[in-house]
Structure 1
Amino acid sequence: MSEAVDVPIDDDVIRLGQFLKLANLIESGSEAKTVIASGLVRVNDEVELRRGRQLHPGDVVAIAGHRARVGGVR
């Protein structure tokens, strides 16, 4: 698995579906729904099935061997 890349966000929190797109881990919101519902996304090493899961700085999201860490507010 790759090293986690820091991805800065605009607020204190971000929803999982939005973060996947921001981090370029997926192409679209509809793809987010599909990969999350299929159990392909992990947050902090646990499978996450909620697209609206609130992520905070320091959380690590993994999908298909790629990892992105929620960075601080830009």
Structure 2
Amino acid sequence: MIKLDQFLKLLGIVQTGGQAKHLIVDGAVKVNGILETRRGRKLVTGDKITIENQTFEVGELNE
């Protein structure tokens, strides 16, 4: 399990937690197709994160 803001940092989409917070609060992130505004949202393997028409699946980085 990983938090949404940590996942964004791990992917390199943002460099800091502050940047992640702004991206999420501004409505630029969807989790499983639903707008997510909580940066502490806990993600599990298989969750799909969409940012600017790019989709990433939790767990991809471990494969």
Q: C-alpha displacement at 1:29, in angstroms?
A: 1.2
1:1-74 matches, within 5 Å, as 13-71=1-59, 74=62
Aligned partners of 2:35, 2:59: CA distance in 1, in Å? 20
TM-score norm. by structure 2 comes to 0.87
Q: C-alpha displacement at 1:22, in angstroms?
A: 0.5
Percent sequence identity is 43
Contact 1:25 1:66 (C-alpha < 8 Å) held by counterparts:
no
Determine which structure has more spread, i.e. the larger CA radius of gyration.
Answer: 1
Aligned partners of 1:51, 1:43: CA distance in 2, in Å? 11
More strand, by proportion: 1
TM-score norm. by structure 1 comes to 0.75
Whose relative contact order is higher, 1 or 2, with alpha carbons under 8 Å and at least 6 apart? 1
More helix, by proportion: 2
